[in-house]
Amino acid sequence: MCRRKHNTKFTVGGFILSSFIALLGACAPSDLVIEGSVPVPMIKKIPIQIGVYYPDAFLNFVHKETSEEIGDWQIDLGKQNTDFFRSLFGSMFVEAVAIEKWGGDTPDGPITNLQAVLVPRIKKYGFLTPFVSGLGFYSASIEYELTLYDDRGAAILSWAVVGYGKSEGKVFAKEEAVEQATLLAIRDAGARIAIEFDKQEAFKSWFGKLVDAESGGKIEPL
């Protein structure tokens, strides 16, 4: 009887200790730079030359979050995210060149040698840990906004795309799990952009007019 009682106390004590350790781990500060390989979808290129303007907020995006449940987090998506989108747009269009300046709706004048300008932005990023969600995995989501302008600065389309990713909590440490979930969210959004971009009605309408305006069959229809 005494032995059974002693074991019960040990089990409860062990549970309290393990819970306390888990709580400390959940609240410990986490400074994370997202790194890793994200494959680019291989698709038929859209036959236009575009410039891509990456705003500073996109190039240097850092998510900061603080709560009693998960502690302090700082997640740097900037370089990884930018590298992926450079490769993505390079695979989507016959030519995609980064441009240093862009005046939005009022550029200095028509853009030479380019038919459009694409501006990507990160509108929202978020993640959940098992400690908060009660589930056995980490998850992340990223909402992008892509705005396409013609060569005179008139907006052609504005399109919101959300990517989702998750990773198993029992396989990775918390920082690695959030990193893996984030990489998968970037990949998921990239796949949607690659597959669905030229199917947006606003783009199809503009592209059709561009094909009609070009003489000599310089641009092939989609």
Q: What is the pLDDT of residues 92-112, one digit of tens each?
A: 999 999 998 887 544 555 566
Answer yes or no: pTM beyond 0.85. Answer: no
Q: What is the pLDDT of residues 131-143, one digit of tens each?
A: 776 778 899 999 9
Q: How far is CA 125 from the centre of its chain?
A: 8
Q: State how far the Cα of 59 lies from the Cα of 82, in Å rounded to an integer.
A: 6
Strands, DSSP E only, in the chain? Answer: 30-33, 46-52, 62-67, 71-76, 93-98, 116-128, 137-150, 155-168
Specify whether domain 29-213 bears CATH 3.40.50.2300: no
Q: In the chain, what are the domain boundaries? A: 29-213
Q: What is the pLDDT of residues 2-57, one digit of tens each?
A: 333 333 333 434 433 334 334 444 445 567 887 776 777 778 899 999 999 999 99
